[in-house]
Amino acid sequence: MAGHYRALAVGVEIPLLGFGTYLIPDEQAADAVEAAIRAGYRHIDTAEAYGNERGVGEGIRRGLAAVGIGRDEIFVTTKLFPGMGGVFKSAREVETAFEASLSALGLEHVDLYLIHAPFTPEQRLEQWGAVVGLHESGRARAVGVSNFNVRHIEELVAAGLPLPHANQIELHPWSQKPEIVRFLEGNGIVPIAYSSLVPLSTWRAAPGHASGKTDEMRADGESGDSPFKAMAAKHGVSEAQVLLRWGVQSGYPVLPKSTDPARIRENAEVFSFELDEDDMRVIAGLDRGAGVAWRTGDPVNNA
- Count the neighbouring beta carbons within 10 Å of the beta carbon of residue 290: 17
Q: Please give the Cα distance from 236 to 183 (Å, whole number).
A: 35
3-state secondary structure of 54: helix
**H or E segment to which residue 221 belongs:** helix 214-222
Q: Please give the Cα distance from 127 to 131 (Å, whole number).
A: 6
How would you classify the pairing of strands 5-7 and 83-84? Answer: unpaired
Look up 22 and say whether it is catalytic: no
β strands within 138-217, DSSP E? 143-146, 166-170, 190-194
- Pick the catalytic residue from 22, 41, 50, 113: 50
**3-state secondary structure string across 263-279:** HHHHHCCCCCCCCCHHH
DSSP secondary structure code for residue 291 in this structure: -
Backbone CA torsion sign across 252, 12, 300, 218: positive
Q: Please give the Cα distance from 9 to 280 (Å, whole number).
A: 27
Backbone CA torsion sign across 54, 169, 300, 245: negative
Q: Please give the Cα distance from 121 to 255 (Å, whole number).
A: 28
Span between the terminal Cα atoms of the chain, in Å: 39
**H or E segment to which residue 84 belongs:** strand 83-84
3-state secondary structure of 157: helix
Please state the separation of Cα 285 from the chain's center in Å.
Answer: 23
Enumerate the active-site residues: 50
